[in-house]
Structure 1
Amino acid sequence: MCRNIRTLFNFEPPATEVEIRDAALQFVRKLSGFNVPSQANEAAFNRAVEAVAAEARTLIASLVTTAEPKNREVEAAKARARSAERFAR
């Protein structure tokens, strides 16, 4: 489930709101054990997603680095190569 959470800091272009919210959603799903919460838990689940997304935005905005921003396409190609090597066996 958490394999979908990707590094969001130091990329060009920067992480979008959708990417941040998707990462927060995956995190809350992992913590709660719910892929889709019941009606009784939906409000708490949604509050948690919004709180995690807000803190993620704060964290990303607060981080500093001297490294050059990573290129999304290059990093995706590296990940595909690692995956191909891993599953070629």
Structure 2
Amino acid sequence: MPMCRNIKTLFNFDPPVTDQEIRDASLQFVRKISGFTKPSKTNEAAFLAAVDEIAAVSARLLASLETSASPKDRDEEAARRKARSAERFAS
């Protein structure tokens, strides 16, 4: 099953991932599984709590992972994503 295109890999980058990037990915995940881009007032507290919890778990996961691979360059990865997107949406 393919990963949601809006959620990007966050592990093993130079410079390392920021807290904001982790939160953004967590927000995308909660949006995807809930089906809400913006929850109603009734669901807002649960939605935001889920984003906070997933961000915290994700940060702990990323901090605990180890690899012998060299860190990926952010600019190179962004260029690859842009090229894949251009290819996918070419007419």
With structure 1 as the length reference, what TM-score do the two structures score? Answer: 0.91
The equivalent position to 1:77 in structure 2, one of 65, 76, 79, is 79
Which amino acid in structure 1 is aligned with residue 25 of structure 2? A
- The separation in 2 between residues aligned to 1:13 and 1:57, in whole angstroms, is 15
Unaligned 5+ segments in structure 2 are none
SS of residue paired to 1:50: helix
Aligned residues: 88
Structure 1 residue ranges, 4+ long, deviating more than 4 angstroms after superposition: none
Provide the identity percentage: 65
Instruction: Give the corresponding residue for 2:51.
Output: 49
Identify, as 1 or 2, the structure richer in helix: 1
Question: Unpaired runs of 5+ in structure 1?
Answer: none
Offset at residue 88 of structure 1 (A): 2.9
Q: CA–CA distance in 2 between the matches of 1:32 and 1:82?
A: 27
AA paired with 1:18? Q
RMSD: 1.2
2-structure distance, mates of 1:85, 1:37 = 33
Using structure 2 for the length normalisation, give the TM-score.
0.89
**Which residue does 1:28 correspond to in 2?**
30
